């Protein structure tokens, strides 16, 4: 189906599932989507924080159309249960795979024993996407993956693409984000090969800080931010609200094509209006992506059935 035909079929009001919608980028993306008139499913791990985010969105957006979905991406049992519940929420037009764990000095593990950052940021979303993909509108559906400029500083070991070996806290987040991006770009290729009209798009927020975003007292910050980052936020970074713009555009904006990478269009991609931006070549390495895909299916026990989507 051509891009023009897809645009003609795209509903003006869509249902978007936002993972990690109770704080940070996920919260601001959910608020912005609701303000645009879209129905937003808040997929959250903590029900209390999810309820607080819902109250905050309703305080700032009149007639916000919201639904809640419990989803713990660090537990594959929860992922499967959430996908089953999603089927009861009606047609879904986009998955905004935003949730993630950022940094840990010591190794932590998911419910199934995977390292927490790779296990949540990549493996949890890998399984979630495979299970939720059949529920997407097969004409205009989109999957948006949260990339990061941190992918520039990572490589994946060909013998250990899930980084299950020696733990290095300062590198693990970057590895997890490179894995997310390899998966997102590879999914775009495989969807196209299967003849599917569903789009897979990667987006990133630049250098986005809670401290530079409009205050939302009901919503807990995602993590503490060093004073030097807050001091420089006016010229080298932007708020989490602005960081959410590329994510929202990738999910519901016009002119978005499968396989693209959206982020801030300013210098070094730190801040600025949403634009198509380049990723490092390693994020498009299909050999590395195939190794990662195979390892991810084996680890999660979840396989993609892309031919069944058409």
Non-local (6+) Cβ contacts of 50 within 8 A are: 21, 22, 42, 44, 68, 70
Cα separation, 48 vs 42, whole angstroms: 12
How far apart CA 169 and CA 307 sit, in angstroms, is: 38
Q: How far is CA 151 from the centre of its chain?
A: 14
| Active site amino acids | 173
Cα 111 from Cα 228, distance rounded (Å): 35
CA atoms within 13 A on the CB side of 93: 20
Q: Which residues of 7-35 are buried (b: 16+ CB within 10 A; e: fewer)?
A: eeeeeeebbbbbbbbbbbbbbbbbbbbbe
C-alpha–C-alpha distance, residues 51 and 149, integer Å: 31
The Cα 82–Cα 164 span in angstroms is 26
Pairing mode, if any, of strands 274-276 and 261-264?
antiparallel
- List the structure tokens of 307: 């031919």
Question: What tokens does 296 get?
Answer: 């991810």
Question: In which residue are the tokens 């059949």 written?
Answer: 134
Please compute, for residue 42, the number of CA atoms within 13 A of its CA located in the half-sphere on the CB side: 31
């Amino acid at each position: 189906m051509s891009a023009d035909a897809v645009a003609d079929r795209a509903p003006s009001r869509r249902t978007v599932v936002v993972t990690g919608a109770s704080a940070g980028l996920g919260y601001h993306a959910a608020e912005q989507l609701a303000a645009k008139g879209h129905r937003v499913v808040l997929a959250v791990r903590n029900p209390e924080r999810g309820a607080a985010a819902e109250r905050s969105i309703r305080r700032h957006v009149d007639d916000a159309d919201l639904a809640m979905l419990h989803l713990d991406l660090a537990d594959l049992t929860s992922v499967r249960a959430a996908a089953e519940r999603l089927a009861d929420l009606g047609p879904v037009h986009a998955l905004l795979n935003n949730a993630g764990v950022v940094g840990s000095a010591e190794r932590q593990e998911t419910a199934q024993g995977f390292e927490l950052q790779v296990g949540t940021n990549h493996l949890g979303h890998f399984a979630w996407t495979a299970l939720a993909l059949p529920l997407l509108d097969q004409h205009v559906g989109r999957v948006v993956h949260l990339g990061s400029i941190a992918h520039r500083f990572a490589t994946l070991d060909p013998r250990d693409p899930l980084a299950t070996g020696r733990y290095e806290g300062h590198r693990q987040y970057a590895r997890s984000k490179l894995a997310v991006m390899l998966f997102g770009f590879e999914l775009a290729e495989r969807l196209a090969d299967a003849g599917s009209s569903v789009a897979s798009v990667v987006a990133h927020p630049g250098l986005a800080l809670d401290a530079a975003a409009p205050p939302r007292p009901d919503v807990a910050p995602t993590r503490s931010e060093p004073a030097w980052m807050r001091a420089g936020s006016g010229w080298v970074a932007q708020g989490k609200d602005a960081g959410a713009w590329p994510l929202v555009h990738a999910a519901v904006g016009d002119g978005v094509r499968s396989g693209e990478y959206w982020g801030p269009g300013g210098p070094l991609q730190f801040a600025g209006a949403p634009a198509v931006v380049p990723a490092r070549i390693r994020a498009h390495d299909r050999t590395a992506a195939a190794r990662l895909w195979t390892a991810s299916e084996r680890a999660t026990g979840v396989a993609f059935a892309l031919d069944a989507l058409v």
